[in-house]
Amino acid sequence: MSYPRIALASSSPRRRELLAQLGVDFQLVKADIDETPYPNEAPRLYVTRLARQKALAGLACLTTAMPVLGADTIVVANNEILGKPADFAEFNRTMQLLSGRSHKVMTAVALVSSERTLQQLVSTEVYFRTLTAQDIDSYWQSGEPHDKAGGYGIQGLAAKFVQRINGSYTAVVGLPLCETEQLLQQWQEPV
């Protein structure tokens, strides 16, 4: 299966690696947007909006016509969006929320052009084992949590905290490959 050449509106190395696994020919574009949630915005609406806005921001940077893929991933516990931890205190609070229970990881993907938008939202349930103070401290000291939504990367050292997942592993990493491939295939179908 061949896919259209696209632009990827993302600075995430994980998204680049995952998209490359599909064999997609892509170029990178900048997608700087304001990621502040709207007041009372539901997590699923927030992550879907950000994916679309990133793709549209990338589209505005292009000089050649091609579809742009944008994606965003959030971690949600108790209906609260858990962002990238600013410091250890915030990280510790996040890990306490995730310890010994499940949470949702939502990844939205948007494929846009000036005429068309296709979107998909994937929600995965992730179950963490109970974390000790030592687990939390040593993971923070590793440096890995600093730029990660929800303070962890499932593909890294935090994998040892994950008892199981119900849903898409690649969506938790940052780009659901099954759904992304479906969007690319759908893009090529006659409108």
For 15, the token pair is 């998204």
For 88, the token pair is 């250890």
The residue annotated as part of the active site, out of 72, 135, 137, 147, is 72
Segments making up each domain of the chain, as ranges: 6-188
Q: Kindly report the pTM of this predicted structure.
A: 0.94
For 132, the token pair is 């000790």
> What span, in angstroms and rounded, lies between the C-alpha atoms of 168 and 173?
9
Please write the tens of the pLDDT for every residue from 134-160. 999 999 999 999 888 899 999 999 999
Q: Judge contact between 110 and 70, C-beta under 8 A.
A: yes
> What span, in angstroms and rounded, lies between the C-alpha atoms of 88 and 13?
24
Please write the tens of the pLDDT for every residue from 88-97. 999 999 999 9
The architecture of the domain spanning 6-188 is Alpha-Beta Complex (3.90)
3-state secondary structure (DSSP) of residue 126: strand
Q: What is the pLDDT of residue 147?
A: 85
**Active site (annotated) includes residue 34:** no
Closest by CA position to 15, among listed 176, 167, 156: 176
